[in-house]
Amino acid sequence: MFKLNQLDDLTLWTKIVVGHDDRAFEKLIQKYQGDVRRFFLHQTLGDEMLSDDLAQETFIKVYTHIGSFRNLANFKTWLYRIAYNVFYDHTRSQKTAVDLDSAEVMSQTSVQRDTTISTDIYQALQQLSPPERTCVTLNVMEDLPTAKIAVVTGMPEGTVKSHISRGKTKLANYLRKNGYEDRR
């Protein structure tokens, strides 16, 4: 059964694919730009410029492939999957990034931080490995269930659950060490 939000996506999709309506695509960007840019901000630990570049690339890929997209109930999952692949390709293209599992990748690059969001979040997320960071942020901050995160990342659901569990434990330990519990 379609939800109201999915019906809205379906209407926009029809206008874009059948009617070649650019304004409908712009509405789609406006609707999801916050989610996609936030996703990249978390993965790049607050590198605002890089996040916006990757988000732009994601939406251009969405535009060029939207005709082949069929599973209309899962537009957001498909969008995150493209975003994840864009990020994965970007990380692989970096000479310093040999492996997505390398926790040092993002901490080594000089980043232009997003000053509008507290840097606490990025310091905390830096404690996690990239796969843990992706799974935890998608699960908690973007509200995706583990089954959908598995579709987005291409990991088995069990692996996603392990990453989330390990990531949250690491985060909790970091927060306790930094007195976050007392501030609550």
* Residues of the shown chain interacting with other proteins in the complex, contacts defined by CB under 8 A: 22, 25-26, 29-30, 33-34, 37-38, 41, 52, 55-56, 59-60, 63-64, 116-118, 120-121, 124, 136-137, 140-141, 165, 167-169, 171-173, 175-176, 180-181, 184
Pick 99 or 120: Cβ nearer other proteins: 120
∠ CA 157-131-154, nearest 5°, is 45
Give the span between the Cα atoms of 46 and 126, in whole angstroms.
10
Closest CB 163 distance from other proteins, rounded Å: 13
Task: Tell me the two tokens of residue 184.
Answer: 């609550």
Residue 33 is which amino acid? Q
Pick 22 or 104: Cβ nearer other proteins: 22
Closest CB 54 distance from other proteins, rounded Å: 12
Pick 88 or 180: Cβ nearer other proteins: 180
- What is the SS3 assignment for 47? strand
Closest CB 26 distance from other proteins, rounded Å: 5
CA separation, residue 181 to residues 19, 27, 171 (Å): 53, 40, 12
Residue appearing with tokens 């390398």: 102
Task: Give φ, ψ of 113 to 5 degrees.
Answer: -70, 150
Give the span between the Cα atoms of 16 and 33, in whole angstroms.
17
Pick 29 or 97: Cβ nearer other proteins: 29
Pick 114 or 150: Cβ nearer other proteins: 114
Closest CB 10 distance from other proteins, rounded Å: 20
Enumerate the β-bridge partners of residue 47. 113
Closest CB 85 distance from other proteins, rounded Å: 17
Give the span between the Cα atoms of 59 and 177, in whole angstroms.
39
Closest CB 48 distance from other proteins, rounded Å: 10
Pick 97 or 168: Cβ nearer other proteins: 168
